[in-house]
Amino acid sequence: MAHRAHAGRRRLRAVDHRAGRREPVVPGGAGRRAGHRRGAAPQRRMDRPARAMTAMWRHMTGAERILEVLLTRRSVSPRRLQSPGPNPDELDAILQAGLRAPDHGGLHPWRVIEFRPQNREALAWCFEQEKLRRDPLASPTDLRRAREHATRPPLLLGFVVSPRERSKIPAREQWLGAGAALGNLLAAAHQLGYGAIVLSGERCFDETLVRQVGVQPGEYLAGFISMGTIREAPPQARETLSQDVWSCWQGDLLPGAAGEASADGDQSIRPSERVRGS
């Protein structure tokens, strides 16, 4: 166990070294990362919002940085990505982040399939054939786009959900665990300075394609994860308020429930109002 723990620490140090201790992409910085190492190639001058974000990032505590990673993560289209993608050590760290997601029973009901560059043309053929099965009249442009979904991403992973049928853990909880792991994979890629996106679509339900890429009976191909260096910053995400996904249960409204009304008449405070009032 001690040797394994030491190996794990050594692997994480390797990730820090090889990644140059990358920091999340600065919003508005067109794919540039916050800060650069001594001796690195000079970068173009960042705009004012990007410089402000860089300064703020340097003064954040560890906990604040983790929260900032989650609050600034956005999906980045493969068209906005370029090489390089995560190296093997970084990919291992990303997968370790997925394994730390909430997982009832510790089942790890998911796995990934890596599609390496030397096999992308074969995958592109599979995507092209799937498009023709779905649309025999597909245009050459449609077929080219189908092939690009396989060849464009610097790093391409298939995300497979593998529910354990004999487990006492309900299937819906296993799916939730797989989704939590997927979220951790994307957040970890963002933390390392990469853009990422999950694309699903009808090809994930094509039985022939699913078997061709190695998905087994009883498993589900949830989508394809593209990762790479951000070439062009994605558009700003639509703002969503916390109150859109929040409610407060009023137990005293149940018939026969014993409870005392609050002195102020139960004036509920939304999460966003708590933030503004703090």
For the cut 80, the answer to whether the pLDDT of residue 60 exceeds it is no
User: Within a domain: residue 40?
Assistant: no
User: Within a domain: residue 185?
Assistant: yes
Q: What is the CATH number of the domain that holds 203?
A: 3.40.109.10
pLDDT in tens, 121-147: 999 999 999 999 999 999 999 999 999
User: Within a domain: residue 235?
Assistant: no
Residue 198 Cα distances to 24, 41, 258, angstroms: 19, 32, 48
What mean pLDDT do residues 22-42 have?
40
User: Within a domain: residue 50?
Assistant: no
> pLDDT higher for 57 or 203?
203
Query: CA angle, 228 as apex, 48 and 83 as ends, to 5°?
Result: 100
DSSP label of 224: E
**Which helix (H) or strand (E) covers residue 112, if one does?**
strand 110-114
The whole-number pLDDT of residue 5 equals: 45
Q: Could you write out the DSSP letters of every residue in 71-95?
A: HH--B--GGGEES----HHHHHHHH
User: Within a domain: residue 261?
Assistant: no
| Residues near 179 by beta carbon (within 8 Å), at least 6 away in sequence | none
The share of the chain scoring above pLDDT 70, in percent, equals: 70
User: Within a domain: residue 241?
Assistant: no
User: Within a domain: residue 39?
Assistant: no
Question: How many independent structural domains does the chain possess?
Answer: 1
* Element counts in the chain: helices (H) and strands (E): 9, 5
The whole-number pLDDT of residue 8 equals: 46
pLDDT in tens, 162-177: 999 888 999 999 999 9
Where in the sequence is the domain holding 106, given as residue range(s)? 76-230
Residue 244 Cα distances to 60, 195, 239, angstroms: 28, 27, 11
What mean pLDDT do residues 232-239 have?
83
pLDDT in tens, 221-233: 999 999 999 998 8
User: Within a domain: residue 206?
Assistant: yes
Contacts 24+ apart (CB under 8 A), 171-178: 173/104, 174/104, 174/107, 174/109, 175/109, 176/102, 177/101, 177/102, 177/103, 177/104, 177/107, 177/108, 177/109, 177/110, 178/109, 178/110, 178/222
Per-residue pLDDT band for 244 (boundaries 50, 70, 90) equals confident
Per-residue pLDDT band for 76 (boundaries 50, 70, 90) equals very high
